[in-house]
Structure 1
Amino acid sequence: MKRNGITTFVAFSLLTQKVIGRRSSSYISSANARSASFTQVLRSLVRLPVLLCFVLTACGIADETEVEAPPGAPLPGLSLEEAEQFSLGQTLFNRAFTPEEGLGPLFNQARCSSCHDLPTSGGHGAEPVTKVSHFDELTGCDLLREEGGDLLQASVVPALRAAGILPERIPVSATAVTELRAPSLYGIGLVEAIDDDDILIRADPDDLDGDGISGRPGLGPGGSLGRFGSKAQHTTLGEFIENAIRGEMGLTTPTHPVEEMPNGLPLPEGTDPVPEPEIEASDLDLLEAYLRFLAQPARLILDNAEDQAASQEGESIFGSLGCATCHTPTLATGRHHSTVLNQKRFRIYSDLLLHDMGPDLADICAPGARPSEWRTARLVGLGLRSEFLHDGRARSVRDAILMHGGEAESARDRFQNLTPDSRRRILLFLRTL
């Protein structure tokens, strides 16, 4: 299998890393770099590779559509300013923070790309994170904030360990524990640019059409429409990023300047000497720009011509089974100030709604989402993965399909009742996504 244009882009990426790495290592290793805004340090360093990117034919990208490119590449057609923001944000995304710069004192990883590195920076990840929650039919979902929150931090800085504080443990009141796998972030800016109405129009919470599918919107902060996260619990890309920065890396932000507490206990004096906020708003803006301009991966082309033809037939079977009712093949962005995101139709294979997937897949909850409810996963990039479902329990696409329950039970049964050859064709199709 191949994706066109990847060689030139990888070469560009390596050149970017060499230039930046050679000229900025003294900054990154110094604790003083934090106070001087990482944005200013890098801005002069990326102009050469940004210009080189434009000299090369759109960074070597060979598109299937306007928004598709090799994994890890930017959206085709970025302006010079957008391309610079992408490069700056990408470098920050791959940067390892230290305790002297604000990492921790509780954390899981030192860099964003530690969780999003497959097959490139910005992709999915194999490293699981532990999420917990408490659910009660009467009181609803409790994210256990008084016991440290729903995300467990598996690492502590040396100062915290010296004070006798160990990594967080599962709260005794948790009714569910899961090991989440990090999702791919490719094309996530396209998801943000979809108009709310285009998501809401697909909701049918009371199943008024009687098809057995009752998707409903997830809830973000303040009851706003959620579209990011496995439970559709985040509304904006900025909120999604800030939540990860605080939880996974322990960096305080201008809007959330308070450190996470180990299982809800106060931090010992002297274990967090770095003043708040530990990351500036300008740096968060760069991370947001990087992810906003990450391109959608192109469709895989199977090496075997017969398999490729069979995969195209599998796409029709996918629709006939009812899979496309939730895994909506395409959506479109609304009006956007950036040309590369303005009114673009793109492949997504998701309706971004919550669906009841049955008791076998039930574990954690979220505000507005019961344990058995999950946001429909985007299937774009499926062929790049080796583990499937929210916790990676399925080791093949076939296994993942067979684990579908609840609203997806009928479609699952129709898949099981296919002839072996028809099942092969639909699996070949999914392999190309």
Structure 2
Amino acid sequence: MVEGEPGAPLPGLTDEQLLRFRQGRALFDRAFTPEEGLGPIFNQARCVSCHDLPESGGHGAEPVTKVSHYDPDTGCDPLTRLGGGLLQESVVPAMREAGLRAERTPAEANGVTLMFPPQLFGLGLVEAVAEERILSRSDPEDGDGDGISGRPGLDPDGRLARFGLRATHATLDSFVEEAIRVEMGLTTPEHPEEMLPNGEPLPPGIDAAPDPEVGDSEIALLSDYVRFLVPNRLVTPPDPVGEEIFRDIGCADCHTPTMTTAPNDNPALDRKRFRIYSDLLLHDMGRELADICTPGSVPGEWRTAPLVGLGLRNRFLHHGQALDLSLAMEMHGGEASAARDAFNRLSPARTQRLIAFLKSL
């Protein structure tokens, strides 16, 4: 089982890969300046500002705001032309001097939510899992009649997506490129245009840095840093009774405990088993968790959240509104309704054993 201390590299990396890991972390932890291209609208100046708990590459305590408009007849509009789907809530000094402010929620938005940044540990192993392994658990028409109809998320090119809270990215390179762009306002070779505050044009001279502001080599370095992060080991040894309850009430039907990577030219990623507690598929989670949409998902659909690292958090679910695990379970609906109802039927003693198991992850 591949695991290690939070923020550590995968075992088995070559000297060259370890060097890229260290260089990538330095870039991940570094603060960009407006002179280098930060902004003009952004959320944070450093990657680590959103991913710092308990170590660089971990989850974050500062939420971001996402917006969208959903119509059952026409589908999802992420409101990109109006500054959606992610709002940028900081501006560079030149913007303030010009009397311009951070983005506001567009009036057209009928879906608004906070999202807490997830941890990045172990994502290289997730990327190395064979597509067939993920698709083998897909059952979009609920052919087996168990009430669970997970389906794969797809990126804009139709590729199997496994990254992002709604399974929107197929590769770590794409996942990292978007984060650099929408969280920090740095233009990239793929998207060399500046983001516009709520879609409004920028005054001349606000951003003088030449585009693209980061190159492919920097994106690749950051991607390799994330790719080479080891999954964190369990907080405490797991309680076998609690784990059995987890399986018995149906949690493991979507929160698949482990996966194994496919054969890989990189020995550190080759046929490695790791804990994940996710099937990486999209599921309808019911009205309680329905807020925004994406072009590939309706408001109630979420990728099964990996549970490794759960014991390091004090807020739960994507929006952090559940301050304890019992409430998080209560907010599960849709395809998770049967598991939620089984949880509610547990005796207090068995509930305590299950919660203790979850906190060990």
Q: TM-score range by the shorter chain?
A: over 0.9
Unaligned 5+ residue runs, structure 2?
none
Report what 2:330 is aligned to: 402
| Aligned twin of 1:122 | 57
Query: Offset at 1:145?
Result: 1.5
Q: Which has the higher contact order (CA 8 A, sep 6+)?
A: 2
User: Which residue identity lines up with residue 3 of structure 2 in the other structure?
Assistant: E
Aligned residue type for 2:223:
E
1:190 to 121, 125, 131: 125
In the alignment, structure 1 residue 322 sits paired with structure 2 residue 322: no
Measured in 2, the distance between the counterparts of 1:286 and 1:253 equals 14
- 2:284 maps to 356
CA distance in 2, matches of 1:338, 1:313: 37
Higher helix proportion (structure 1 or 2): 1
Match of residue 151 from structure 1? 86
**1:184-237: CA deviations, max 9, x gaps?**
101011111111111111100000000000000112122221111111111110
Q: Larger C-alpha radius of gyration, 1 or 2?
A: 1
Contact conserved, 2:235 with 2:312, CA < 8 A, in 1? no
2:297 counterpart of 1:369: yes
- In 2, the alpha carbon distance for the partners of 1:280 and 1:236 equals 17
Confirm or deny that 1:165 pairs with 2:100.
yes
Post-superposition offset of 1:287: 0.4
Is 1:113 the counterpart of 2:48 in the alignment?
A: yes
Amino acid at match of 2:139: D
- Which among 339, 354, 357 is matched to residue 429 of structure 1? 357
Aligned to 2:167: 232
Measured in 1, the distance between the counterparts of 2:359 and 2:210 equals 48
Structure 1 distance, partners of 2:214, 2:81, is 25
Distance 2:16 2:33 in 1: 29
Across the two proteins, how many residue pairs are aligned to each other?
Answer: 361
Aligned to 1:42: none
SS of 1:222 mapped into structure 2: coil
**Residues 5-64 of structure 1, C-alpha deviations (whole Å, 9 max, x = no match):** xxxxxxxxxxxxxxxxxxxxxxxxxxxxxxxxxxxxxxxxxxxxxxxxxxxxxxxxxxxx
User: Which residue identity is paired with 1:247?
Assistant: V
* Match of residue 274, structure 1, among 209, 214, 235: 209
Q: Specify which of 215, 232, 242 is matched with residue 297 of structure 1.
A: 232
> Which digits, 9 at most, give the CA deviation of each residue in 1:330-382, with x for residues without a partner?
11111222111011111110000011111011000011200000000000111
The one-letter code of the counterpart of 2:291 is: D
Matched, 1:250 2:185: yes
Q: State the alpha-carbon separation in 2 of the partners of residues 259 and 119 from structure 1.
A: 32
Q: Residue 344 of structure 1 is aligned with which of 272, 281, 284?
A: 272
For 1:112 and 1:119, locate their aligned partners in 2 and report how far apart those are by CA, in whole Å. Answer: 14
The 8 Å contact of residues 218 and 227 in structure 1, kept in 2 or not, is answered as yes
CA RMSD, Structure 1 to Structure 2 (Å): 0.9
Report the Cα distance in structure 1 between the residues aligned to 2:134 and 2:214, rounded to whole angstroms: 33
**CA–CA distance in 1 between the matches of 2:240 and 2:26?**
38
Equivalent residue for 1:101?
36
Q: Is the 8 A contact 1:357 1:372 kept in 2?
A: yes
Structure 1 equivalent of residue 198 of structure 2: 263
Query: Does 2:307 match 1:379?
Result: yes
Equivalent residue number for residue 16 of structure 1: none
State the alpha-carbon separation in 1 of the partners of residues 142 and 102 from structure 2. 44
Which whole-Å deviations, capped at 9, do the CAs of 1:380-426 have from their partners, x for residues lacking one? Answer: 11111111000000011121111111110111110110111111111
Higher mean Cα deviation, 325-334 or 160-169?
A: 160-169
Equivalent in the alignment of 2:3: 68
Measured in 2, the distance between the counterparts of 1:272 and 1:87 equals 30
How far apart in 1 are the matches of 2:195 and 2:154? 23
Instruction: Verify the 8 A CA contact 2:256 2:279 in the aligned structure 1.
Output: yes
Asked whether the 8 Å contact 1:221–1:235 carries over to 2, the reply is no
Deviations 1:89-124 (A, max 9, x none): 001000000001110001000000000000000000
Q: Contact 1:226/1:235 (CA < 8 Å) preserved in 2?
A: yes
TM-score (norm 1): 0.82
SS for the counterpart of 1:100 is helix
Which whole-Å CA distance do the structure 2 matches of 1:347 and 1:189 have between them? 13
Deviation at 1:149, TM superposition (A): 2.4
Q: Aligned with 2:114: secondary structure?
A: strand
Please give the residue correspondences for 1:1-150 in structure 2 after superposition, counting only pairs within 5 Å: 65=1, 67-150=2-85
Secondary structure in 1 matching 2:86: coil
CA distance in 1, matches of 2:236, 2:179: 34
Report deviation, 1:164: 2.2
Cα distance in 2, alignment partners of residues 411 and 364 from structure 1: 24
